[in-house]
Amino acid sequence: MVIVDCSATYDTVGVLKDAVDHGCCVVLANKKPLTCAYEDFKKLTSHFRQIRFESTVGAGLPVIASVTRIIASGDPVSRIVGSLSGTLGYVMSELEDGNFFSEVVKTAKALGYTEPDPRDDLSGMDVARKALILARLLGQQISMENINVESLYPSELGPEVMSTTDFLESGLAKLDETIEEKVKAASLRGNVLRYVCVIGNTGCQVGLQEVPKDSALGRLRGSDNVV
């Protein structure tokens, strides 16, 4: 028997752990069960041949397979750097062309790149979950609280304060000036902005970084990912 989880909830963890206990195979598109308590992650991956979760990180890139293959060969992985959000990748590359942040986000939503509430992407939490999965694969016994995550909007524009409609109609525009200043400052140094995750021996950071325009991250366009 194979259980496939294509949901976007933490509620399936119990069922998935029971499935593993009963020798079932598990296939995950849902990354949240792997980002719960570390003990749950260990339980779900304790029989590695029974679980597949490639699509939880890096879209179509074979990131999980590559990392696990390197580890299985006995080689250490000291650092992982990547752009792991197609939505934020699209937004960042469009900003280079002089477009306003608010307009780019709205276009990304219209194209179906973002979640129904774009703040789910702009908060960086989706990237943080992917970073956490990779860090745990490297043996780091950490949780979401251990990851430094930079949100692209302040708390006063958060979902607890204003509705999705209000955020799109008036909140987003308040971010244009600040983002534009960062884009221009990076450009003067020959750099571009990318939303990057960095996983090292001392922890994880997720947020905006200036990178050289001709680097692997800097050359990204549209919704492509790279690690």
Q: Within 10 A of 118 (CB to CB), how many other CB atoms are there? A: 22
Question: Dihedral, CA atoms, 113, 117, 118, 123, nearest 10 degrees?
Answer: -130
Catalytic residue (choose from 130, 182, 184, 213)? 130
DSSP 21-61: HTT-EEEES--GGGGS-HHHHHHHTSSGGGEE-GGGSSTTS
Q: Distance between CA 210 and CA 154 in Å, rounded?
A: 20
Structure tokens at 154: 């302040």
What length does the chain have?
227
Strand partners, 80: 199
Catalytic site includes residue 109: no
Question: Dihedral, CA atoms, 107, 110, 113, 119, nearest 10 degrees?
Answer: 80
- Active-site residue set: 130
